[in-house]
Structure 1
Amino acid sequence: MNRDEVPAWILSLDKESVEFIRKFIINSGSLKNISKIYGVSYPTVRTKLDTLIKKIELNSNTEDLEFVNMIKNLVIDERLSLETAKMIIDKYKSERNDE
Structure 2
Amino acid sequence: MSVSIQELGQRLKLLRKRLDLSQESLAESMGVNQNQISRLENGVGGTIELLLLLFSFYSKHFHVDLLFPTTLTSWKSTRSYPTATASTALLLKS
What is the TM-score of this pair, normalised by structure 2?
0.29
Structure number with larger C-alpha Rg = 1
Structure with the largest fraction of helix: 1
